Structure 1
Amino acid sequence: MKTEADMSSTPRMDEPLREKIMTQPDVILDDKELMRALIAANERAMGGNIVDLRGIAMDRLETRLDRLEDTHRSVIAAAYENLAGTNIIHRAILRMLDPVEFECFLRDLGGDVAEILRVDSVRLILESAQNDNDPSVQRMGDVLSVAEVGFIDRYLADSRSGPGRIVTLRQLSDADARVHGERAAFLRSEACIRLDLGKDRLPGMLVLGAEDPHQFTPQQGTDLLTFFGGVFERAMRRWLS
């Protein structure tokens, strides 16, 4: 047992610092590195033959807290990313609904809408039972393409998505020029959106292409693009009516 003389010989902490700690103990409790140092000093004082169960429990709790904080940051980052994606889709839809003529609608699709969506190519594929030599189709060849019946099913046949899936995301090594035109050689990923253009009409497909191979991958969610496709096909029904 320490005598009064032993206690008086123990070096005293700087008085202003000691007073600050006494009045604001949270300063120490909130400092992880300082708390580790104090716990380590306590373990050394107890000696090597004593198992500090409280210290072990604190270490485990600290590890769990670190994992929880990492998860919390990941959830927040995902929420911000989803919010940003939602805003982009909403802006693209509003711009898509502005035109009052079909040719302007298609021109904006390959221009302002593509820029808002941050993609390098936007192509609309319509199936037709006959070769369509309509002048408007020829004029909009950089956005609009007419394909034979069954082309869309064949084009998506090698994808991993199940049959009837609305949105297909995949990476490309050799993009199809029949779909992407002159930009095919530069594209490394695409989003294909099936379009239901109404009763007794052949299907269509909206294809977004990107030079970034990671912009569209099968692991990503498709809710926003499904919503975008739903609005787009309703706009197309209006133009085709």
Structure 2
Amino acid sequence: MDGTSIDGAMSAHEAKDEVRRFLLENPGVLLDDPDLLAQLGLQTLPDNVVAFGPAALARVHAAHRKESAVRRRLESTARANFAAQAHTHGAVIDLLEARNHADLARRVDDLAQLRFALCSGVVALEGPERTPAGWRPLVEGQVDMILGGHQKLTRMGFWAPALGLFGDRAEAVKSMALVRLAMWEPAREGIVAFGSSDPEGFTEDMGAELVAFLARVIERTAERWPVL
């Protein structure tokens, strides 16, 4: 083989090796061709020292700026995740300190507003049996209607059928996080809803892990007391 591909054309890798070999054997080619140096973004200094010119430096600076921007985004995301987890841990303690169902519902709304800067937090429960004080009453099957399916556990983003959960604050809600609840035996289904005034507060592609975790805490806390 003569170093070319089957059809006689030199491959890019072979061409690169050939150019490198040629420049190593003939270093003066670059030094003697100022136009070529300029196109490469290089310049010569006294004693034949080749230095980066403005174009090459601009490329290096652009790469560094891009790397710094990516690092800042990663750091910002990490800080936001850490803050969200810290708020969630504090919220769990608040929920576990509830004294009854009404107090639990109040604490859900308080943590939504005070800890997460949301406009509302609501707990709702399907009938036909009694609904605890402070909880939104739902008719049987309404949880499925709100979430959009029998098997659906969560829904993130704006969802008009759920606006009724937020009562007189519904007009301020532009996005929401909805999580199915199942409590007591025999099981009664409910829902916990968090509403945000920011359309990007909750989005469809956002993970629901933290709100689902809070929902499990609400379930276990609510089961301490029977619905009388």
- The alignment's TM-score, normalised by the length of structure 2, stands at 0.68
Structure 1 residues 148, 175: closer, same or farther in 2, change over 3 A? Answer: closer
Structure 2 residue identity aligned to 1:67:
K
SS class of match (1:90): helix
1:80 aligns with 2:79: yes
Query: Following the alignment from structure 1 to structure 2, what is the Cα–Cα distance between the partners of residues 111 and 60?
Result: 51
Q: CA deviation at 1:77?
A: 0.7
SS class of match (2:206): coil
1:194 to 173, 177, 180: 180
Partner of 2:118: 119
Matched residues, percent identical? 21
Output one character per residue of 1:5-43: Cα deviation in whole Å (capped at 9) or x when no partner: xxxxxxxxxxxxxxxxxxxxxxxxxxxxxxxxxxxxxx9
Structure 1 residue identity aligned to 2:211:
L
1:203 to 178, 189, 202: 189
Structure 1 residues 174, 149: closer, same or farther in 2, change over 3 A? Answer: closer
1:150 aligns with 2:141: yes
Q: CA deviation at 1:196?
A: 2.2
Output one character per residue of 1:96-149: Cα deviation in whole Å (capped at 9) or x when no partner: 11122333222333335542232211111101135x3x6x53xx2xxx111111
Query: Following the alignment from structure 1 to structure 2, what is the Cα–Cα distance between the partners of residues 68 and 112?
Result: 37
5 Å-filtered alignment, 1:35-74, equals 47-50=34-37, 52=40, 63-74=62-73
Output one character per residue of 1:20-69: Cα deviation in whole Å (capped at 9) or x when no partner: xxxxxxxxxxxxxxxxxxxxxxx999621445487588766654443332
Query: Following the alignment from structure 2 to structure 1, what is the Cα–Cα distance between the partners of residues 199 and 142?
Result: 24
5 Å-filtered alignment, 1:156-235, equals 156-157=147-148, 164-171=151-158, 176-177=163-164, 179-235=165-221
User: Is the contact made by 1:191 and 1:208 (CA closer than 8 Å) also made in structure 2?
Assistant: yes
Q: CA deviation at 1:71?
A: 1.7
SS class of match (1:168): strand
Structure 1 residues 117, 63: closer, same or farther in 2, change over 3 A? Answer: closer
User: Is the contact made by 1:167 and 1:225 (CA closer than 8 Å) also made in structure 2?
Assistant: no
Query: Following the alignment from structure 1 to structure 2, what is the Cα–Cα distance between the partners of residues 69 and 44?
Result: 34
Structure 1 residues 188, 175: closer, same or farther in 2, change over 3 A? Answer: farther
CA-atom RMSD in angstroms: 3.2
SS class of match (1:87): helix
Q: CA deviation at 1:184?
A: 1.2
Structure 1 residues 46, 215: closer, same or farther in 2, change over 3 A? Answer: same
Partner of 2:27: none
Aligned structure 1 segments of 4 or more residues deviating by more than 6 angstroms? 43-46, 56-59
Output one character per residue of 1:200-235: Cα deviation in whole Å (capped at 9) or x when no partner: 212110011122222111122222112211211111
Structure 1 residues 53, 90: closer, same or farther in 2, change over 3 A? Answer: same
Structure 2 residue identity aligned to 1:170:
G
Query: Gapped runs of 5+ residues in structure 2?
Result: 1-29, 43-51
Structure 2 residue identity aligned to 1:166:
L
User: Is the contact made by 1:95 and 1:113 (CA closer than 8 Å) also made in structure 2?
Assistant: no
Q: Which has the higher strand share?
A: 2
Partner of 1:90: 89
Query: Following the alignment from structure 1 to structure 2, what is the Cα–Cα distance between the partners of residues 126 and 44?
Result: 81
User: Is the contact made by 1:123 and 1:206 (CA closer than 8 Å) also made in structure 2?
Assistant: yes
Partner of 1:105: 104
Equivalent residues, number: 186
